[in-house]
Structure 1
Amino acid sequence: MKKHYQILDLFSGAGGLSNGFEQTGRFSVIGAVEVNKAAQKTYIKNHGNNENLILKAPNSEASDITMIDFNSLELDSQNTIVIGGPPCQGFSNANRQKNYLISGNNQLVKEYARAIRDIKPVAFLMENVKSMNSSVHKFFVTNFIDGDLNDFSSKRHLDDISQPGQTPLYEKDDIELLLSDSTQLKLIVSEFTNILNVPSPLITEPLLITRMRTVEQRMKNLSDVRLKNAKERMEIKQVLSILENYNEYNSFEAIINETIEALSRLLIEPISSAFLKEKIQNFVDLNRFLTRCQELKDENIACSEIELIEGTPFAMRTSVYSYNVVKYLKRLFAFYGYSLDSKVLDASQFGVPQRRFRFMMMGIKKTEEKVELPKRTESKSFTVRDAISDLEDIIPQHEIETYKENIYRVPSSSNELLEYYREGSKADILYDHINTKSSDLIQQRYEHILKSNGKNFHSLPDNMKESYSDASRTQNTVYLRLNYDEPSPTVINVRKSMWQHPSKARALSIREAARLQSFQDCFIFEGRKDERYQQIGNAVPPKLAKAVANKMLEYLS
């Protein structure tokens, strides 16, 4: 008898990763964590309608990993495998200029690390975007809080998990908080040398920040600025109300009064951009500076003193420390006693009819063997034709509520991949062969692309692109027509991208998208149409997961 293992699936989605593990016959799911309700329903549907599989904190209806105490689960660590793909956005020079400096998704990687620490599984698998190991995916070092048992990012923690002689994980990283040529603003902000002493932003509501950014853009691009509709006027009135009632920091009074004067006039009539810039640019820049500082405070980021960098324009900067996510996880999991391998795997090399690249990290507890992720298991790559050609003459239905599943027609010939898809399915049953009924314009686009042997949106004539504000910037994946003789490109939400069947003037069905991800036909999706498509686009291909699971079993044996 071969040993059987239990799986805890974190950030499970619809369950592609665990489905691949289950296909080996050696793993059974005992619990899953997933916040999305539709994905939960799909997971439950494909696991005997067992609602207890979705883990929730006591007295909570949410399957929120931040609220789950893994120590309370009383798992047999020698028989437990943890798998999952925590979202990890990271940060970069580019997104520092956006509204939010910090990505909340970064915390979820640390929640995965907490699960490994507390459960102590005999093995784990973490998957993520292929760029996870890039310089973009970094974390900030935070201040140490005495008594914090879930410290995964202070210098103290990073030093504790490092062996003597190892290079420190963290490095210095400068953050620009403000760049301006205003002498008035320089006198105000140069007072602040410690991030903790910087006041709160004047405007904190994201909608109002966005509205002020819109006004700022119009100042730069137009000779006159005007408010276009009642919604814009209402939001500017809200900004005015906040400023008129502000009394917390006296040094801001002159800037606030000038802004009140200008915005009050803007409510009545168009204003020249030059005048408006003179009156409100300092306010916009000040609020942006305060917002950046507040983000650093809210996330407890360890910062140096704020520096004034003289010049025209002048700059306000602070230094933080950051560290690469993958280097950190490798050192952390090695500290926890795991032998590791990590690399980017191409799903098309493991029987998936799709070129999909995913970062994988596998850890095995207490083994002296060199751990390696699987190498290619298939000598050839399966194509879109291998995956969906048997469905091309079965017309997709449009409504979930009235769907008739007795529609499958067994083809005269089969192939290895088709046999895999149909395993466990009744002869005439086909679930989820559903797409969205196309509008007249969308149908015309599909027909033109097919007749002209086109590839995507850019194959359309100009008169069919007019509904797009800037057609030249539309991605090549929009209205992508698949090629029967190649593996599919990376499957995303094919409904949003309007992917087209290779030989038909229609959108791909949910089932066809699932086939490209290597879900078997007996796997049933739940939720609205767009939710089903999204679950498929987010999933790990089960055949890729199965290949990794089989490799893991070699070490566990």
Structure 2
Amino acid sequence: MRGIDIFSGVGGMSIGAAMAGVKTCLAVEIDRYAASAYALNHPSTKVICADIRSVDFSKYRSDEETVVFGGPPCQGFSTSNQRTRSSTNQNNWLFKEFLRAVQEIEPEWVVFENVKGITETEGAKFLQLVVAGLEALGYRVNFTVLNARDYGVPQSRSRLFVVANSSSRHFEFPPPIHTKPLTVRDAIADLPALKNGAGVDVLGYELRPISNYSRLLRQGGTTSVSGNLVTKNAPEILERYRHIPQGGNWEDIPEYLMSNYKDRSRCHTGIYRRLEWDQPAVTIGNFRKNMLVHPGEDRGLSVREAARLQSFPDSFRFFGSIGFQQQQVGNAVPPLLSKVVFQQVMSDILPTVHAIEAAE
């Protein structure tokens, strides 16, 4: 199976696709730092760093079985973004470029990913347009919302997946594979001990792997890991952290320490959230802006800790300054979540392939 990753970011979906047997030949990403990270980690994939509107996708049509996949910008659909969560946000219309890519490439399979909020924005208007657009191109479409914690990711993260195929086959989404969710402890407890503002990228591991999950992401016998970068927060921010228990948030911070907020009651529940060691993480979005707090230290998460909670392998290198790296992690689709979707696509394909081979 040949893959084409649209709005690829650093390639979280491409990693999951590769785990399922899809070889991504092309990725398109406008952000030069994310595109550089993609190229660094996927050296055999052609990366186009450009505005998708300038790309002629007809050049990438092929007789090979192909899946086009990706997730257009989702900030405009996020439930935490009430300011531009409407049809006036031009980025909310970039799904049309995804549909254009499908029309020009004519793949057998399509996997479209986005935040759960797209099912709610303007009465699911944009989701309906995506589904109708694919059906107009001749695809049979199914969609659902999956939570990453049900598929081996130590994070509660609900994402919409739309899967379509040109063969009119009914697609069944994978059932949950984990009855007991993985925890923050499972994910990060073996990583290097860090302080506020840590700036040394590569460090030795703190402990041996403490879970099958950490063993999986360490992938063998390496003794060090990159991404041990932590935002340097001001003393007043650290003072706020000290008042937050595990599972707590901004509501646990005394009012006098939040005086710079005009109306602190308008903070959403994810602001200043301290993670819990023995629960899955909350959604890892913009974890620097949201001030997500380490479960045991008065500091923010490191790039690698957030990447672990997203299920990136430790060998994956992010690119650019710490701010760009944080954004790359938070914007990504968890690789292990995308893996189960692509495995299901492949399981639908293989019986047909075997039948053709038998006939020949």
In the superposition, the TM-score normalised over structure 2's length comes to: 0.88
Paired letter, 1:116: V
In the other structure, the counterpart of 1:444 is 239
Give, in angstroms, the shift of residue 539 of structure 1. Answer: 0.9
In the other structure, the counterpart of 1:82 is 68
In the other structure, the counterpart of 1:384 is 184
In the other structure, the counterpart of 1:128 is 114
Among residues 395, 401, 407, which one is paired with 2:204 in the alignment?
407
Q: Structure 1 residues 326 and 466 mapped into 2: Cα distance closer, same or farther (>3 Å)?
A: closer
Paired-residue identity, %:
34
Give, in angstroms, the shift of residue 385 of structure 1. Answer: 1.3
State the SS of the aligned residue for 1:374: coil
Paired letter, 1:108: L
Are 2:163 and 1:359 equivalent residues in the alignment? no
In the other structure, the counterpart of 1:65 is 52
State the SS of the aligned residue for 2:164: strand
Aligned length, in residue pairs: 347
In the other structure, the counterpart of 1:152 is none
Paired letter, 2:57: F
Give, in angstroms, the shift of residue 476 of structure 1. Answer: 2.4
Does structure 1 conserve the Cα–Cα contact (< 8 Å) formed by 2:154 and 2:183? yes
Give, in angstroms, the shift of residue 137 of structure 1. Answer: 5.6
Q: Structure 1 residues 417 and 102 mapped into 2: Cα distance closer, same or farther (>3 Å)?
A: same
State the SS of the aligned residue for 1:449: coil
Counterpart mapping for 1:183-332 below 5 A: 324-332=125-133
In the other structure, the counterpart of 2:90 is 104
Among residues 239, 242, 266, which one is paired with 1:473 in the alignment?
266
Q: Distance in 1 between matches of 2:336 and 2:141?
A: 22
Paired letter, 1:428: T
Runs ≥4 in structure 1, deviation > 3 angstroms?
396-400
Does structure 1 conserve the Cα–Cα contact (< 8 Å) formed by 2:247 and 2:276? no
Q: Structure 1 unaligned runs (5+)?
A: 56-61, 139-323
In the other structure, the counterpart of 1:30 is 25
In the other structure, the counterpart of 2:331 is 538
Q: Structure 2 unaligned runs (5+)?
A: 351-360
Give, in angstroms, the shift of residue 404 of structure 1. Answer: 5.0
In the other structure, the counterpart of 2:212 is 416
Give, in angstroms, the shift of residue 473 of structure 1. Answer: 2.3
State the SS of the aligned residue for 2:224: coil
Q: Distance in 2 between matches of 1:446 and 1:327?
A: 42
Does structure 2 conserve the Cα–Cα contact (< 8 Å) formed by 1:410 and 1:427? no
Q: Structure 1 residues 404 and 347 mapped into 2: Cα distance closer, same or farther (>3 Å)?
A: closer
Give, in angstroms, the shift of residue 115 of structure 1. Answer: 0.9
State the SS of the aligned residue for 2:290: coil
Q: Structure 1 residues 550 and 362 mapped into 2: Cα distance closer, same or farther (>3 Å)?
A: same
Give, in angstroms, the shift of residue 27 of structure 1. Answer: 1.4
Counterpart mapping for 1:107-186 below 5 A: 107-134=93-120, 136=122
Q: Distance in 2 between matches of 1:502 and 1:399?
A: 17
State the SS of the aligned residue for 1:508: coil
State the SS of the aligned residue for 2:90: coil
Among residues 222, 226, 230, which one is paired with 1:435 in the alignment?
230
Does structure 2 conserve the Cα–Cα contact (< 8 Å) formed by 1:409 and 1:428? no
Q: Distance in 1 between matches of 2:147 and 2:261?
A: 34
Q: Distance in 2 between matches of 1:328 and 1:454?
A: 38
In the superposition, the TM-score normalised over structure 1's length comes to: 0.58
Q: Structure 1 residues 114 and 12 mapped into 2: Cα distance closer, same or farther (>3 Å)?
A: same
Does structure 1 conserve the Cα–Cα contact (< 8 Å) formed by 2:196 and 2:300? no
Q: Distance in 2 between matches of 1:346 and 1:135?
A: 19
State the SS of the aligned residue for 2:326: helix
In the other structure, the counterpart of 2:145 is 344
Give, in angstroms, the shift of residue 390 of structure 1. Answer: 1.6
Give, in angstroms, the shift of residue 444 of structure 1. Answer: 1.9
Q: Deviations over 1:506-527 (max 9, x none)?
A: 2111111111111111111111
Does structure 1 conserve the Cα–Cα contact (< 8 Å) formed by 2:196 and 2:298? no
Q: Deviations over 1:74-97 (max 9, x none)?
A: x3244221110013647xxx98x9
Paired letter, 1:34: E
Give, in angstroms, the shift of residue 103 of structure 1. Answer: 2.3
Please tell me the root mean square deviation across aligned C-alpha atoms, in Å.
2.6
Does structure 1 conserve the Cα–Cα contact (< 8 Å) formed by 2:155 and 2:283? yes
In the other structure, the counterpart of 2:290 is 497
Q: Deviations over 1:464-488 (max 9, x none)?
A: 2123232232222222110111111
